Amino acid sequence: MQYADVIVDISTTALDRTFQYRIPDELEGTVTVGSPVLIPFGSSDKLRKGYIVGIGDELKFPVERIKNIVGPAEKDLSIEDTMMGIAYWMREQYGGTLYDALRTVLPVRKKVQKQPKRIIRRKVSEEDIRKAYQEATAKKHKAKARLLEPLCTQDFIPYEIASGKMNVAKATIDFYVGAGLLEVAVTAGDYYPGDGLKVGLNEEQQKAAEAVITRRGEGRPFLLFGITGSGKTEVYIRIIEQVLSEGKQAIVLIPEIALTYQTLLRFYRCFGDRVGYVHSKMALSDRYLQCEKAKNGEISVMIGPRSALFTPFQNLGLIVIDEEQELSYHSETTPKYYSDEVAIKRTRDCGAALVLGSATPSVKSFRRAESGAYILLELTKRAKEGAQLPTAEIVDMREELTSGNRSVFSRSLRQAITECLSKKQQAMLFLNRRGFSGFLSCRSCGEVVKCPHCDVSMTVHRSGNLQCHYCGHTAPMPKQCPACGSKYIAAFGTGTQKIEELVKKEFPDARVMRMDADTTKGKDGYETILGAFAEGKADILVGTQMIVKGHDFGNVTLVGVLAADLSLGVSEYSAAERTFHLLAQAAGRAGRDRFPGKVVIQTYRPDHYALTAAAAQDYRLFYEQEIRYRKLAQYPPCASMLRVLGLGKDEAALNEAMKTLAEIVRTKGVTVLGPAADGMRYAMDIFRVILYIKAGSKDALIAVRDRLEREVPEGITLQFEFSE
Ligand code: ADP
Ligand code: ZN
Ligand code: ZN
């Protein structure tokens, strides 16, 4: 006899409460985990809909109290069923509990008080607003200018955007209300329909949008591969217009850091208050409210980071993932899902279109486009006249040292900074922090100490030894460089703070600002810093990769990349891809406006294709080299890979168990690397051991995962992560 655990109410507050029901013989096999079913509930046995979240043969109740499932609930294709199906699929794909998956997919139910919609509307003519805007700009009243700028071209902006994303204080709004220029109004219903797409698309954009609209039915995702500034957003907007006109809805994923008010206003301008947005620092009740609005049709376009994927639209017509190569689209908490895969699943289920957009697509997506699994659409021209690509220079840091320059700044970069400062323009210095993670590199020749068995760098362990992440090989810490004998060999530990100090020392007159995880902790932390930099409050911005993501600073003419190749030494097969993406984006920051831009890339490996291709802004050049390497080494996307992290309190028992598990799954067609200690041998007193498993298909790996889950002994936990 089979029994089912059923959740009755899928609000997350009630998720951990399941009820057991008997699966009658005639239903066995027709209902499974995830199925919506009808059950008698409560003392009156009122029929209600529930979802099966687990099936077993163990009875948890006295047998006389157990009730039967009545039958499958009618598939009315409610949005709850759809989201439930996705949660169940995510559990299958990414592991974890169904509870974890449901918590990701469903908004936490909160009591919300519906706020009336408020807008800030101009009370005077466009001309008068423009005058006030010019005055505010001249007086350098930045917040005032920020508020008035969009109002020069449109009647109103939503209050929540002004006070939230635009970071305009209530006092500033009140100032103009008091002066009689603006008014705050409460609106009911669809007040502002939006203007639609105003710019005429150029031929390439037109073609791309048409292709998506006419070929949606083929069921293949689209990869919109368009250089920076080619106008991808306008293409999305054109497709969204079409989708909305059919009474369907659209989800637009934008990396959190690029989700600025300028971007939001672009969508508001076109679609008015049918646009909603979410972000990760949003209060749960606000997020819930947005989901409610999506469910009952008040909004039709949802913009946000990866969590926006789960917007409960009844009739979804389109998902767009902008900057699809961004790592932030991979969830770091269980379930560790990949947004593109979830989007493929969700759009396939309901016949919606999926558009992935990027100037530098992930190797995974580009390969799929090459193989025909995705439809490739290209934008090769900049949409705006005049904007030009920056010039790039690659500086060989080995030569700097030979010429006696031991500074972290090359002579070339120092000169460029000096010039930039003298012209009263701004510079960004970018530090590849991912690289600063405890591996050993020679300051003299750039040699990174590698494992003799694998093509990865050894990492410095707490024990003081070097260790290989992949095969577990260990070696003592060398006293001098194994390649050139130099004694300038050290683990990199320099961070942004150190660089900031050095900049201040070398350029005492420059105003320096720092942006990294430390300085951006608070709510809107990075927006405050970026805002201040955009307003010219600093000459040099020093930071980690977060400074290079999609921001437009007209006055930035120099981008310096310090130690560009450090991330190449990181022990991940995708290190070159990460490096290329970061450098290409960094290069894209310089000279976006009136002035020509310059990029200086400092490196010990001036010939590496990730660097030369990024400097040349040539994606295909990079891709051709990279895919050859992946094929040769059988790394994703040329093979599927599963990373298994074993966690246990007893290190010896953990090692033993992982060895046994490795043997169990090592079969024909399945390659097992390891076990090896994780780079972090233990954390919070729990030891960590890694297995890498490669196979031809993800399905094969899912079978391996299921096998491992069954075989894992007591006291050890496994965590899984797939890459394709
Ligand atoms: P991408 O996202 O591809 O980097 P954007 O969509 O941000 O590019 O567009 C870059 C700039 O070009 C924006 O300022 C946009 O308003 C402008 N733009 C886009 N399409 C056109 C067009 N057809 N005509 C004129 N300007 C355009
Ligand atoms: Zn050396
Ligand atoms: Zn090794």
Closest by CA to 41, choosing from 32, 31, 53, 51, is 51
Asked if the peptide bond before residue 476 counts as cis, ω within 30 degrees of 0, the response is no
Residue 211: CATH number of its domain? 3.40.50.300
For Cα atoms 420, 422, 427, give the angle at the middle one, nearest 5 degrees: 25
Closest atom of ligand 1 relative to the 227 alpha carbon:
3
Residue 493 CA from chain centroid, whole number = 26
CA–centroid distance, 680 to ligand 2, in Å, is 26
Residue 659 lies in a domain: yes
For Cα atoms 651, 652, 654, give the angle at the middle one, nearest 5 degrees: 65
Residue 38: CATH number of its domain? 3.40.1440.60
Three-state SS at 413: helix
The residue whose CA has the least distance to atom 21 of ligand 1 is 383
| Protein residues with CB under 6 Å of any ligand 1 atom | 199-202, 205, 226, 228-234, 383-384
The pLDDT, as a whole number, for residue 593 is 61
Q: What is the pTM of this model?
A: 0.80
CA–centroid distance, 464 to ligand 3, in Å, is 17
Mutual angle of helices 203-215 and 232-245, in 10-degree steps? 40
CA–centroid distance, 472 to ligand 3, in Å, is 6
Residue 401 lies in a domain: yes
Same domain, 240 and 320: yes
Closest atom of ligand 1 relative to the 233 alpha carbon:
6
Three-state SS at 576: helix
Number of domains in the chain: 5
**Burial of residue 319, with CB atoms counted within 10 A of its CB: 0-12 exposed, 13-18 middle, 19 or more buried:** buried
* Position 527 pLDDT exceeds 70: yes
Q: CA-to-CA distance for 240 and 650, rounded, in angstroms?
A: 54
Query: Which ligand ends up closest to the CA of 690?
Result: 3
Residue 332 lies in a domain: yes
Same domain, 217 and 358: yes
Residue 678: domain span: 640-723
CA–centroid distance, 649 to ligand 3, in Å, is 25
Same domain, 616 and 666: no
How far does the chain reach from its first CA to its final CA, in angstroms?
Answer: 39
Query: Which ligand ends up closest to the CA of 449?
Result: 2
The residue whose CA has the least distance to atom 23 of ligand 1 is 201
Residue 290 lies in a domain: yes
Among 575, 607, 629, where does a domain finish? 629
CA–centroid distance, 593 to ligand 1, in Å, is 13
Closest atom of ligand 1 relative to the 230 alpha carbon:
3
> Which residue blocks in 139-202 are alpha helix, DSSP H?
142-151, 159-160, 170-178
Closest atom of ligand 1 relative to the 322 alpha carbon:
2
Same domain, 247 and 307: yes
The pLDDT, as a whole number, for residue 189 is 55
Residue 487 lies in a domain: no
Mutate to test the pocket of ligand 1, among 382, 384, 551, 593 (most ligand atoms within 8 A of CB): 384
pLDDT digits 0-9 by tens, 359-391: 999 999 999 999 999 999 999 988 876 666 778
Same domain, 19 and 76: yes
Residue 406 lies in a domain: yes
**pLDDT band for position 55 (cuts 50, 70, 90):** confident
Contact 576, 213 (CB under 8 A): no
Residues 283-294: what's their mean pLDDT? 85
Closest atom of ligand 1 relative to the 266 alpha carbon:
16
Q: CA-to-CA distance for 675 and 656, rounded, in angstroms?
A: 10
Same domain, 536 and 599: yes
**pLDDT band for position 435 (cuts 50, 70, 90):** very low
pLDDT digits 0-9 by tens, 653-682: 999 999 999 999 998 889 898 898 876 666
